[in-house]
Every structure is written in structure tokens, then in C-alpha cells.
Amino acid sequence: MDPDSPSAKEHRTVTRITTILETVAGAEGGVRLRDVVDVLDAPKSSVYGLVQGLAAVGYLEEREGVYRMGPAVTMLLSPNRSALISAARPALEHLRRQFDETVTLAVRVGYSTVYLDSVESSRPIRYSAPLRQRRPLYPTSAGKCLLAFMPPNLRGSYLVSAVDEGERGAVVAELAQVREEGVAYNRGDTLPDVTAAGAIVLLGDRPVAAVACAGPTNRMAGGLDAVGRAVRSTADDIARRIS
């Protein structure tokens, strides 16, 4: 390779993606697809594919046709300085003391669940949550909550890609119940020996996180309804702390 030749070259797709992100970041109220199409001067179908791809991995967030910066950007740039974590920590610790099972705080990043914080059980045998790693929205209890409160079009797209057609009707009904009650359960759906209850944290009608309590099934299953009520109360407490 010629040492005097430039090592970095512009790539059209990369340029389009960065332009999309810069355009959205510079618009205080978000942008619509037509705005991005105008900036890029590119075919609408091509731009739509890029924008939806960025939304799927959490770098953009779409609500009612308006695109804004997504949670993946914040997690990438400031992974250890979350006001949400600081505000939620006392409530998470209180819930852990109630049952001495592992309590987690999760957010949706595109079509994934990411655990931001965890307060682990003191017991030798306990659930240990991997932090800051993408995990499926379904069937974790926190993920079910986040999925249930996603915009309907994004939720539908996720279910088509992630849930078998024969099971989709039952999952849709389960998520409707989660929206009504604000609580979701995982009865060994992710790991055979782990049971959990999760609840959505809402600011008004905006979902900002989910909190879950998880532990070995032989300890959790018998009192799962009580855990569910406590998790719901904890989610409400977190909402009050961050409002």
C-alpha cells in the first residue's frame, strides 16, 4: 500500500447513515421521513430502509411518524452516568430486601432489552443478570413490559420476526394483558429454573424503563403474585423519583 495514499475513503451508505443521525440530532423536535429524504436527496425507499434499520437497533426512535435520537446513543456515550440509574437505585434495593432475589432495571434499545443496573440476591444460588448486553425483548419479564408498550407498528414488526406465527396470537393477548395490568411474568420461559415478575415504569403514558425481580423457580413460583404486586409498586416509586 502506498503510504502517501489516503487510508480513509467515503462510503455512500456510511455517509447516509451519519447524515441521518446528524440531521435527527440537530432537530429539537425530531424529523419526519420526508425531511431526511430531502436532506439526502435519495430515493424514499432507500432512506426508509436505513431509518428503520437504525430504529431497530435503537439509534433512532420513532413515534407517530417522528424520528428522534434513540437510547443506544446515550448508552454508547455515557454508559456510567445515567440519572435514571441513580434515581432508581434506592427503589431497587428496597425491592431486593423484600424478597432477597435479584432485581434489575432494563430499557428498550431498538428491538432489544438492555439491563442498566442490577441488585443481586445475597443467596448463594441466585439469578445474575448480564449488564449492558442486548437481549431479546421476548420472553423476559422486563422485555415483555417494554414490548407491550412499544408503538404498535414496531411491536408488530418485532413479533413477525421473533415469534412463530402459530404462537403469535397468544403472545399478542399476553401483551394486551400486560398493558392493562402493567405487570408481566416469566415462568421459566427464558431459563427453565428461573421465574420472574416485571413491571413497566411510566412517565405519564411514556414508557421509560422496566423493573424486574427474578430468582430460582423453587423459591419464586409460590409467591409470584406478591412479587408482581411489589414490582408494580417499585415501578411506580421509580416513576415518582424521576418525574
CATH topology for 12-69 is: Arc Repressor Mutant, subunit A (1.10.10)
What CATH class has 78-242? alpha beta
Tell whether pTM > 0.85. no
Which CA distances in Å does 238 have to 83, 142, 162, 232?
12, 15, 30, 10
Q: Is 78-242 the same fold as 12-69?
A: no
- How many angstroms separate the CA atoms of 106 and 8, rounded? 37
Show me where the domains of the chain are located: 12-69, 78-242
pLDDT tens, N- to C-terminus, the chain (243 residues):
454 545 556 688 888 888 898 888 888 888 999 999 999 988 999 899 999 889 888 889 888 889 998 877 766 655 544 788 999 999 999 999 999 999 999 999 888 898 999 999 999 999 998 888 888 999 999 999 999 999 898 899 899 989 999 999 999 999 999 999 999 999 999 998 999 999 999 998 889 999 999 999 999 999 999 999 999 999 999 999 988
